[in-house]
Amino acid sequence: MTAPAATPGGSAPQEALSQRQLIWRRFRRHKLAVLAMSVVGVLYVLAALAGFFSPQSVGRKDLDYAHCPPQPVRFSLRHGLHAPALRQHIDPVTLRQTYVRRPGEVTRLGFLVRGDEYRMAGLVPCRTHFFGARPAAAGDAPEAPRAFFFLGADKYGRDILSRLLHGARVSLSVGLAGIVVTFVLGLAIGGISGYMAGRTDTIIQRLIEIINSFPRLPMWLALGAAVPNDWSPLRTYFAITVVLGLLSWTGLARVVRGKVLSLREEDYTTAARLLGAGHGRIIFRHLLPGFTSHIIVSLTLAVPGVVLGETSLSFLGLGLREPVVSWGVMLQDCMDLEAVRYYPWLMAPVVMIVLTVLCFNFLGDGLRDAADPYATR
């Protein structure tokens, strides 16, 4: 009996690859999904090292630069990397606040500069920032400006970019934590429903239909309003995570239930039952591993829903609150349409939310195509 021929390029024949290797090979052909996975990875790295990549401390306020517009980065042989220095100007007639350039002055910029103190990974005190304003040079005036707002500032003079990076830490981790709750409830309840069938399956399915019949946003609002205002940020964060997880498990439970119903009568399931295996062992040891790829895809596509849920609750003031920084909390400044009209850079969290949701959707589509057992390539 001859061995299967190798594929062009010297790679191993497809018959010799494991299921994981086949999924990875098909996934790499989905260029948009690979790009989305790279962007998601960068977002999580930036969130984990938010203090290092932030130009300023997340809590630093400077009312002299309230609603300061974005400062573009420029380069010249004289100043190197720099940004135009701005000063606040109030119109004496309309009292409108604007910013004008300081003639002949710039804010010098650089990499790995010393700035506000933060804790690397929440543990080690550090003052080095990846990019930001440099200390005044020898020839500069003592009052040389050091304020730098790449994406502008909010009404308290806080750096939007720094708050975006720290907000990503909360908003993206809420998505992962909510998925853990969804994963546990969806697998357990869906597996029991499909395996037990009969009356148990009927009761669980009616419960899922009742939960799905409630409008999602009003349900979020009702549960979010139940969180006491005097709770600490940590307890509020935990409560929001649990709320989002409790409302997101029904879709995964139905997927698991359908797969278990189709596999519970297979020969290997019957053999395990005849050998005396318990119901829990059959469900979690023999049935669920048979469609792990589908579970991963379902969870990947569920992350954007959890992120949007936290953003909606925080935006409406029923989720996370100050001093916690999240994308939803930052969007509370956009409730005033006049503020959005005159200070459009306050909408920067919307760009991050849209980017995150699109990347997770593209990643989920790529995983779904790669995990399809009937795929021809």
Per-residue pLDDT 10s for the chain (377 aa) are 444 444 444 454 555 667 678 778 888 888 999 999 999 999 999 999 998 999 988 888 888 888 889 988 988 888 888 888 888 888 787 777 888 888 878 888 889 988 888 888 777 888 889 998 887 655 555 454 568 899 999 888 899 999 999 999 888 888 787 788 888 888 888 888 888 878 888 999 999 888 888 887 777 777 777 777 777 776 777 777 777 777 778 888 888 888 888 887 777 778 877 888 887 788 777 777 777 777 777 778 778 877 887 787 787 777 777 788 889 888 888 887 878 888 899 999 999 999 998 999 898 888 887 876 655 55
pLDDT at 2: 46
Give CA–CA dist 147/83, Å, rounded. Answer: 9
Shared-domain flag, residues 198 and 262: yes
Q: Last residue of a domain, which of 112, 138, 158?
A: 158
Is there a domain that residue 24 lies in?
no
| DSSP E strand boundaries for the chain | 74-76, 80-90, 97-120, 124-133
* Residue 77 lies in domain: 55-158
3-class DSSP state for residue 339? Answer: helix
What is the number of domains present in the chain? 2
pLDDT at 252: 84
Shared-domain flag, residues 258 and 177: yes
Is there a domain that residue 281 lies in?
yes
pLDDT at 182: 84
Shared-domain flag, residues 144 and 179: no
Is there a domain that residue 226 lies in?
yes
Is there a domain that residue 32 lies in?
no
Is there a domain that residue 195 lies in?
yes
pLDDT at 46: 92
pLDDT at 307: 83
Is there a domain that residue 258 lies in?
yes
| DSSP E strand boundaries for 229-338 | none
Shared-domain flag, residues 143 and 185: no
pLDDT at 9: 47
For residue 44, the cross-strand partners are none
Contact between 67 and 153 (Cβ < 8 Å): yes
Determine the straight-line distance between the first and last CA of the chain, rounded to whole angstroms: 25
